[in-house]
Amino acid sequence: ECRQSRARACELRLPHGRVASPVFMPVGTQGALKGLTAAQLSALGCRLCLGNTYHLGMRPGPELVRKGGGLHGFMRWPWNLLTDSGGFQMVSLVELSEVTEEGVLFCSPYDGKEILLTPEKSIEIQTALGSDIMMQLDDVVSSTVSGPRVEEAMFRSIRWLDRCIAAHKTPDKQNLFAIIQGGLDPALRTKCLEEMTQREVPGFAIGGLSGGEAKDHFWRMVALCTSRLPRDKPRYLMGVGYATDLVVCVALGCDMFDCVFPTRTARFGSALVPSGSLQLKNKQYATDWKPIDENCGCPTCQRYSRAFLHALFRHDTAAKHHITVHNIVYQLNLMRSIRESIIEQRFPQFVQDFMRTMYGNRESYPQWVTEALASVGITLE
């Protein structure tokens, strides 16, 4: 643990191997990462990635995946998997869903059929998928919603957690995480924390954030949750993947993160670097013979120039693959560097160096970052 902030370097002991944290988990919605094979992801050093219960439950369907040896066998992935519960689709597919106490009624985006996803059904699908970490079904509302719906969703998420725990028959093989809800209301978050931390679950997620709310609200909710979550259990901040957010939220005490951002942004030609990102589609890279990042050891940076990727991007999807490889390695390297700095008790200095490289000078630092870090004892110079 960092002596100054809440940052921690831990180890998750999971059925398919140990995972060093803080950890970023790439998202493979349909059991594959867009633009990468499972073997490539493994070779890059990823040991925990994410699958989506709702989409996999729709197609190819849990029965087929079970016959294929669970999601590990189906996608030929030897390491750990986390599956989400399908709850987030209440926000992302809001026009297609209706929530009741029983569960969420979805209209399939594939064939228009109605499907009722209950806490029990979510656990059943995740059991068939065989993930190492499964998430409770929660009642998710957008982080920009306020009023009685937020309170209703928080209390329902507690009730649904109890139903998930009761339905969970493989606790020796699969770890069920609770999800803290409560929107941007500190009283509701606190109530949810009080209730859920009384349940015997192996880990906790902080849900319902990073959905467009003001960063000032975002970091305060994260800090509130980490201050009240048990010290000896992993804390998973859902849907966070920007480099600055990762560094700040590690300082606030989070251990696990996931986001489609690094892979999605790669498909638009955006390569992540310590100073931000390079838009490789832009003309300025047409005659730039440097790799994306001269200090990066990924296969893309070892082999290809910015000029080549710029030229390739116009007419070949392979460019998206090469940038995806680089972006995944960027995220994994960032988390590895954060972890090393925590173990060596130099995390506050790491944060100073990271911010200088990313933003140049102190005048450019986002105010929310300065305030969030100050709240845990790191004053930016």
What pLDDT score does 96 carry?
66
Q: What is the mean pLDDT of residues 285-294?
A: 98
Q: Which two tokens stand for residue 89?
A: 């689709």
Rounded to an integer, what distance in angstroms lies between the CA atom of residue 373 and that of residue 52? Answer: 32
Task: List, for residues 370-379, the tens digit of each pLDDT value.
Answer: 999 999 999 9
Catalytic residue among 132, 139, 258, 293: 258
Instruction: Kindly state the average pLDDT of the residues 186-194.
Output: 98
Residues 6+ positions from 62 with CB-CB distance below 8 Å: 56, 124, 125, 128, 129
Instruction: Report how far apart, in Å, the C-alpha atoms of 297 and of each of 6, 8, 285, 306 are.
Output: 30, 26, 20, 15
Q: How confident is the model at residue 106 (pLDDT cuts 50, 70, 90)?
A: confident
- What percent of the chain shows pLDDT beyond 70? 96
pLDDT confidence of residue 59: 74
Return d(Cα 344, Cα 351) in angstroms, integer: 13
Active-site annotation holds for 258: yes
- Per-residue confidence (pLDDT) for residue 90, from 0 to 100: 59
Q: Which of 85, 76, 83, 81 is nearest to 17 (CA)?
A: 81
Tell me whether residue 138 is one of the annotated catalytic residues.
Answer: no
| 296-344: pLDDT as tens digits | 999 999 999 999 999 999 889 999 999 999 999 999 999 999 999 999 9
74: pLDDT strictly greater than 80:
yes
| Calpha distance 255→350 (Å, rounded) | 17
Q: What is the pLDDT of residues 254-273, one digit of tens each?
A: 999 999 999 999 999 999 99
Q: What is the pLDDT of residue 127?
A: 94
pLDDT for residue 89: 63
| Statement: residue 31 has pLDDT above 70 | no
The beta-strand segments (E) located in the chain are 10-14, 17-21, 23-25, 48-52, 80-84, 97-99, 104-107, 114-117, 133-135, 175-180, 203-206, 235-237, 256-258, 270-273, 276-279
Average pLDDT of the residues of the chain? 93
29 has pLDDT over 60: no
Q: Which of 84, 132, 138, 139 is catalytic?
A: 84
- Per DSSP, the three-state class of 265 is helix
Using the structure block, give the residue that is written with the tokens 């849990």: 62
Higher-confidence position of 198 and 76:
198
Tell me the pLDDT tens digit for each residue of 115-149: 888 999 999 999 999 999 999 999 998 888 899 99
pTM score, whole prediction: 0.95
- Residue 210 banded pLDDT, cuts 50, 70, 90: confident
Higher-confidence position of 163 and 84: 163
Per residue in 38-63, pLDDT tens?
A: 899 999 999 999 988 777 777 788 89
Residue 8 has pLDDT above 70, yes or no: yes
